[in-house]
């Protein structure tokens, strides 16, 4: 079926005009709206965002290059520098000024005597660097090499010799564990701060010791140099320079002369020495030996040297003063005597020492195999009788003993600007239940009475113990020099202190175990206490053979030697502790403490003693032992000729 055909629609001229007009209005409106949006956007950018884009444009045109600040000095109590800055000659490359790269690099390698691997590093840095950013080539250059490059600079475009500052430690290893050292910032340092200064050539941050802990005040504020560059980073001209602001000078309580002397006096021994001012708590010396040279670390240590230091059984990388933990041995006996007196034990009560103390089926021995006979408290301290303290401390128990240990500084955390401290252990019955879920035993008390067993202390705590015994006050050690603060009394009967101090004077001057510590200064007496700490259990067979601390015994198996003391004995001004690791009886701590305190009263006399010792240190062990004996005789003869009256410095 065929449908009907639809008639064509007639379009009039009026309809066509209407349609055109409507479409033109829509298109025109769209154009007007779009133009309005563009105008509004341009107005927003040119008015509201003007400052922002002006700064962005300026940063594209001008580059800011930071100038590393000069680090603040670390000085001793007298203002003598212990860490300072010295001129540092370096050579950098400016990539966009480097036209004939290979020729220039070859000339630099010849002038600076750089190895091939160092030149490979320079080439890699050049590939990654922006055109205006300096690329370090060499630093800490001798002046002759720096001058040679400066003389040829006109023929070496892109080479930028520069003079800055590097860290220097005049006393070297003597202050290593105290000041620490500086080094280039690590990726972790940069991630933590996001500070562009950290990646500026020549800038270094504190890596250890006071340099690390006091980084902020020592760092200072960087300077800046503004330079106009092209879009490709090419230098057009330098605009202006803002100078850097040096870091603050940090003054310590330490006496640099004593610090250096004590480090030299310890020689090749492994251990630590600490000296404290009994009037203020100032730490006058804090030495840990052996040590590394912080100048080598700051300049960049080699892998071979690092491996050697890391592998040494004398632990030169560890600050033994704060991080070494040792059984304090018999150095705690004066403190334990205070605990006995405080508990009501009479000083004149005697104990018979036969050389051994029976407990159950076993025996605890005195260091003197034949025994000391009947001794009172002063005699027990002077002769370091173990049996006396086994007997008496058992009466009062561990809890009263531990309380006295804490009052005199053992187990304490001191507010010092140091990266880390190890606080040791002051055990009591509650501690053992927490630690081992076991009850405290009488055998534990007997061990604790002579500074063995669970007790551990660091050398700084032992020095604080000596200072509190000397002063009767709760002195707190300090490293940063500032106005002294009043320290409270320990609340212990002054008569008890007098009894203990007199006994400690007898240890050194009255026929006790510390005769080798007798002072060389006329009129000055030293009071102290010796100690020997076992690092392993000694069998009866070894006792019979007499190989307890022989120099033939392997280093790690020898006993530690300890000494605490103060001087003058009857008007204490200075206190000290010396701990020698695994020294056995080859080198004992007492003469070292003696000489350190002698230096404070008569530095010339102390230096003379050290000169005698150093002549024998270059030989074998028997030769060194003979040198120690010669120095001891010199100290004995000098002390014998001294008048009894004391005179403080």
CATH of the domain at 224: 3.90.1310.10
The residue with greater pLDDT, 61 or 446, is 446
Res 416 pLDDT > 80? yes
Domains contained in the chain, number: 2
Q: Which one of 28-32, 309-313, 627-631 scores highest in mean pLDDT?
A: 309-313
Together in a domain, 272 and 223: no
- Is residue 560 a part of any domain in this protein? yes
Res 639 pLDDT > 50? no
Res 396 pLDDT > 80? yes
User: Hunting for tokens 């490359």 — which residue is that?
Assistant: 93
Residue 500: what pLDDT? 97
- Out of 52-61, 523-532, 602-611, which region has the weakest mean confidence (pLDDT)? 52-61
pTM score, whole prediction: 0.82
What is the CB-side half-sphere exposure of residue 276 using CA atoms within 13 A? 30
Residue 549: what pLDDT? 45
Rounded-to-integer distance, Cα 590 and Cα 290, Å: 18
Residue 1: what pLDDT? 47
How far is the CA of 19 from the CAs of 16, 220, 387, 493, in angstroms?
A: 5, 77, 122, 115
Res 123 pLDDT > 80? yes
Instruction: Report whether 538 contacts 546 (CB < 8 A).
Output: no
Residue 648: what pLDDT? 35
How far is the CA of 612 from the CAs of 187, 615, 630, in angstroms?
A: 49, 6, 8
Does residue 290 have a cis peptide bond before it, meaning omega lies within 30 degrees of 0? yes
**Which residue, 607, 511, 509, is CA-closest to 567?**
509
The residue with greater pLDDT, 117 or 132, is 117
Together in a domain, 494 and 409: yes
CATH of the domain at 415: 3.40.710.10
Q: Which two tokens stand for residue 578?
A: 């010396």
Q: How buried is 134 (Cβ within 10 angstroms: 0-12 exposed, 13-18 middle, 19+ buried)?
A: buried
Going by pLDDT thresholds of 50, 70 and 90, the confidence category of residue 44 is confident
Going by pLDDT thresholds of 50, 70 and 90, the confidence category of residue 537 is low
Going by pLDDT thresholds of 50, 70 and 90, the confidence category of residue 634 is low
Together in a domain, 286 and 403: yes
- Is residue 305 a part of any domain in this protein? no
Cross-strand bridge partners of residue 273:
287, 578
Res 631 pLDDT > 90? no
Residue 178: what pLDDT? 96
Mean per-residue pLDDT for 621-625?
Answer: 58
Mean per-residue pLDDT for 134-142?
Answer: 83
- Out of 30-44, 120-134, 539-553, 558-572, which region has the weakest mean confidence (pLDDT)? 539-553
Together in a domain, 349 and 217: no
The residue with greater pLDDT, 99 or 387, is 387
Together in a domain, 226 and 281: no
Mean per-residue pLDDT for 146-168?
Answer: 86
Going by pLDDT thresholds of 50, 70 and 90, the confidence category of residue 424 is very high
In degrees to the nearest 10, what's the CA dihedral of 478, 479, 484, 490?
10
Mean per-residue pLDDT for 252-261?
Answer: 97
- Is residue 640 a part of any domain in this protein? no
Together in a domain, 193 and 324: no
Going by pLDDT thresholds of 50, 70 and 90, the confidence category of residue 54 is low
Together in a domain, 219 and 270: no
What phi-psi label fits residue 589: left (phi over 0), alpha (psi between -120 and 50 degrees) or beta? Answer: alpha
Mean pLDDT taken over the chain = 85
- Is residue 490 a part of any domain in this protein? yes
Residue 632: what pLDDT? 57
Residue 261: what pLDDT? 97
Q: What are phi and psi of 110, to 5 degrees?
A: -70, -45
Mean per-residue pLDDT for 493-513?
Answer: 96
Residue 43: what pLDDT? 74
Alpha-helix runs per DSSP H in 513-620: 540-545, 589-601, 603-617
Together in a domain, 408 and 520: yes
Together in a domain, 470 and 536: yes
- Out of 131-140, 441-450, 499-508, 540-549, which region has the weakest mean confidence (pLDDT)? 540-549
Rounded-to-integer distance, Cα 435 and Cα 426, Å: 12
Rounded-to-integer distance, Cα 332 and Cα 456, Å: 11
> Please, what is the Cα angle at 450 between 589 and 549, to 5 degrees?
45
Residue 643: what pLDDT? 42
Q: What are phi and psi of 245, to 5 degrees?
A: -115, 120
Residue 241: what pLDDT? 79
Looking at 604, 620, 639, the residue that finishes a domain is: 604
Strands 283-289, 271-277: parallel, antiparallel or unpaired by DSSP?
A: antiparallel
Together in a domain, 215 and 273: no
Together in a domain, 106 and 205: yes
Strands 235-242, 250-251: parallel, antiparallel or unpaired by DSSP?
A: unpaired
What is the CB-side half-sphere exposure of residue 30 using CA atoms within 13 A? 5
Residue 219: what pLDDT? 94
Residue 234: what pLDDT? 56
Going by pLDDT thresholds of 50, 70 and 90, the confidence category of residue 269 is confident
Together in a domain, 199 and 261: no
Q: What is the DSSP string of 592-622?
A: HHHHHHHHHH-HHHHHHHHHHHHHHHTS-HH
Res 646 pLDDT > 50? no
- Of all residues in the chain, the percent with pLDDT exceeding 70 is 83
Mean per-residue pLDDT for 345-351?
Answer: 96
Residue 587: what pLDDT? 65
Q: State pLDDT tens for residues 562-572.
A: 999 999 999 99
Residue range(s) defining the domain that contains residue 270: 256-298+320-604
Mean per-residue pLDDT for 556-582?
Answer: 92
Looking at 567, 587, 604, the residue that finishes a domain is: 604
Q: What are phi and psi of 357, to 5 degrees?
A: -130, 120
Instruction: Report residue 80 CA to chain centroid gap.
Output: 19
**Which residue, 516, 479, 529, 190, is CA-closest to 337?**
529
Q: Which two tokens stand for residue 527?
A: 């009071």
Residue 558: what pLDDT? 78
The residue with greater pLDDT, 327 or 197, is 327
How far is the CA of 341 from the CAs of 49, 332, 337, 363, 402, in angstroms?
A: 81, 14, 6, 26, 14
Residue 198: what pLDDT? 84
Res 348 pLDDT > 70? yes
> Please, what is the Cα angle at 381 between 456 and 576, to 5 degrees?
55
In degrees to the nearest 10, what's the CA dihedral of 427, 432, 436, 437?
-170
Rounded-to-integer distance, Cα 282 and Cα 260, Å: 17
Rounded-to-integer distance, Cα 565 and Cα 597, Å: 9
Rounded-to-integer distance, Cα 393 and Cα 370, Å: 22
The residue with greater pLDDT, 441 or 192, is 441
- Is residue 178 a part of any domain in this protein? yes
- Is residue 324 a part of any domain in this protein? yes
The residue with greater pLDDT, 180 or 31, is 180
């Amino acid at each position: 079926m065929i449908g009907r055909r639809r008639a064509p629609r007639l379009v009039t001229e009026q309809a066509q005009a209407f349609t055109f007009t409507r479409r033109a209005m829509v298109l025109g409106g769209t154009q007007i709206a779009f133009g309005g949006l563009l105008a509004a956007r341009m107005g927003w950018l040119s008015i509201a965002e003007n400052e922002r884009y002006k700064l962005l444009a300026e940063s594209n045109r001008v580059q800011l290059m930071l100038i590393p600040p000069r680090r603040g000095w670390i000085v001793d109590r007298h203002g003598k520098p212990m860490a300072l800055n010295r001129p540092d000659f370096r050579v950098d490359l400016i990539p966009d000024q480097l036209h004939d790269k290979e020729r220039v690099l070859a000339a630099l390698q010849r002038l600076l005597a750089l190895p091939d691997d160092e030149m490979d590093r320079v080439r890699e840095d050049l590939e990654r660097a922006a055109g205006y950013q300096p690329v370090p080539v060499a630093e800490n250059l001798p002046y002759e090499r720096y001058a040679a490059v400066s003389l040829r600079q006109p023929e070496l475009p892109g080479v930028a010799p520069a003079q800055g500052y590097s860290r220097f430690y005049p006393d070297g290893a003597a202050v290593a564990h105290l000041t620490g050292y500086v080094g280039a910032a690590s990726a972790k340092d940069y991630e933590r701060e996001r500070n562009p200064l950290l990646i500026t050539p020549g800038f270094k941050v504190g890596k250890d010791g006071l340099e690390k802990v006091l980084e902020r005040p020592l760092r200072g504020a960087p300077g800046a140099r503004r330079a106009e560059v092209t879009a490709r980073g090419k230098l057009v001209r330098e605009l202006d320079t803002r100078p850097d602001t040096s870091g603050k000078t940090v003054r310590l309580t330490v006496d640099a002369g004593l610090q250096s002397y004590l480090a030299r006096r310890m020689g090749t021994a492994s251990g630590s020495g600490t000296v404290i001012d009994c009037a203020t708590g100032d730490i006058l010396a804090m030495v840990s030996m052996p040590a590394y040279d912080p100048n080598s670390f700051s300049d960049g240590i080699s892998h071979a040297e690092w491996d050697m230091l890391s592998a040494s059984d004398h632990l030169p990388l560890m600050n033994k003063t704060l991080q070494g933990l040792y059984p304090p041995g018999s150095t705690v006996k004066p403190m334990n005597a205070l605990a006995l007196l405080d508990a009501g034990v009479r000083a004149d009560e005697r104990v018979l020492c036969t050389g051994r103390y029976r407990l159950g089926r076993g025996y605890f021995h005195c260091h003197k195999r034949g025994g000391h006979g009947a001794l009172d408290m002063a005699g027990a301290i002077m002769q370091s009788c173990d049996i006396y303290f086994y007997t008496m401390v058992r009466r009062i128990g561990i809890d009263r003993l531990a309380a006295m240990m804490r009052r005199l500084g053992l187990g304490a955390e001191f507010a010092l600007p140091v990266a880390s401290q190890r606080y040791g252990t002051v055990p009591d019955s509650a501690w053992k239940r927490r630690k081992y879920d076991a009850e405290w035993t009488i055998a534990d008390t007997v061990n604790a009475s002579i500074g063995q067993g669970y007790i551990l202390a660091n050398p700084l705590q032992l020095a604080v113990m000596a200072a509190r015994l000397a002063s009767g006050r709760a002195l707190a050690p300090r490293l940063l020099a500032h106005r002294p603060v009043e320290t409270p009394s320990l609340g212990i009967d002054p008569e008890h202190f007098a009894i203990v101090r007199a006994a400690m004077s007898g240890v050194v001057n009255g026929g006790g175990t510390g005769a080798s510590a007798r002072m060389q200064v006329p009129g000055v007496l030293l009071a102290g206490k010796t100690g020997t700490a076992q690092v392993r259990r000694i069998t009866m067979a070894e006792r019979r053979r007499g190989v307890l601390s022989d120099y033939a015994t392997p280093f790690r198996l020898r006993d530690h030697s300890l000494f605490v003391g103060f001087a003058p004995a009857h008007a204490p001004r200075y206190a000290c502790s010396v701990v020698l690791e695994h020294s056995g009886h080859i080198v004992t701590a007492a003469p070292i403490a003696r000489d350190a305190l002698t230096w404070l009263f008569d530095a010339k006399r102390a230096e003379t003693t050290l000169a005698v010792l150093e002549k024998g240190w270059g030989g074998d062990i028997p030769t060194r032992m003979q040198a120690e004996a010669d120095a001891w005789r010199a100290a004995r003869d000098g002390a014998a000729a001294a008048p009894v009256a004391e005179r403080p410095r």
